[in-house]
Amino acid sequence: MGLIGSSVAAPTSTWWQPAVGTTWQCVLDQPVGSLTLPVQIYDFDLFNTPQSSIDTLHAAGKQVICYFSAGTYEPDRPDSAEILSDPSAVGATLDGWPDEKWLDIRTDFIVNIMKARIDTAVSKGCDGVDPDNIDGYDNGGGGFSTPLTASDSVTFMTQLSTYAHSQGLAIGLKNAGGIVEDTLSFLDWSVNEQCVQYDECDTFSPFISAGKPVFHIEYLDQSPDVQQDCYGPNTTGFSTILKQDEDDLPAAVQFCPAQSS
């Protein structure tokens, strides 16, 4: 019996659902920093986060969302070589991220690799997963001869959410505002970057109306007005944190000040 098969929980029909307004922290770089911040949820990198950090947070009654890039190839992941074994599944380089390439999320090959990552999340005790870069449709179709479409992303997220939920994990939508309406019913939250900066928070507010949180990040080097970042149009109910820049997500975080009356 393989390692993954022996460590993954039996299928279940129940999973954790965070509430609107739940506080959070997001750290995708190392070290993870303080595990005693006044927040309920930590969003950590699936592969690089020490198991001890997840265990410590669970012992404190907190939840852990595990991040991975579901729609791009990255060179430093445990399954990177496996992805490269099928060059037809690898597309164009991401704008601004020269080491990453879009993946053909329409293929069973890529879907199964991402299901295996969900298995890893289960084995590490993650409460949910944060699959990133599923919006190749909005980035030149990923550079494939037959471009990726929004419908392809909806299908992909349907497959991942069905599998994650069957394993007892929650799962959210990362950015990808163009498919909010088509995925809202089966996803558990939204993680959004920079909707204040780009004046598009109304795109993600349907999650709030549906009783599901929006975990929201603004970057101070791009949008330095803290009051606007925290309380701008259509951000009511959002769980907002501020980070210094968009190039990485270290432990340093700024929380929103109390809203002035």
- Supply the DSSP string of 125-158, one letter for each residue: T-SEEEEE---GGGTGGGG-SS---HHHHHHHHH
pLDDT of residue 30: 83
H or E stretch covering 191: strand 190-193
In a domain, 56, yes or no: yes
pLDDT of residue 55: 99
In a domain, 172, yes or no: yes
In a domain, 7, yes or no: no
User: Any idea which residue has 């509430």 for tokens?
Assistant: 19
Instruction: For residue 193, give the CATH number of its domain.
Output: 3.20.20.70
pLDDT means per 10 residues in the chain (261 residues)? 41 88 95 96 98 98 99 98 98 97 99 99 99 98 98 99 98 99 99 97 98 98 94 97 88 87 50
Structural domain boundaries, residue 158: 20-255
Integer Cα distance of 161 and 247 in angstroms: 28
Q: What value, to the nearest 5°, has the Cα angle with vertex 42 and ends 45 and 226?
A: 105
Q: Name the residue type at position 261.
A: S
Integer Cα distance of 90 and 110 in angstroms: 10
Number of compact structural domains in the chain: 1
In a domain, 215, yes or no: yes
In a domain, 73, yes or no: yes
In a domain, 260, yes or no: no
| 157 phi, psi to nearest 5 deg | -70, -30
In a domain, 8, yes or no: no
pLDDT of residue 197: 96
In a domain, 9, yes or no: no
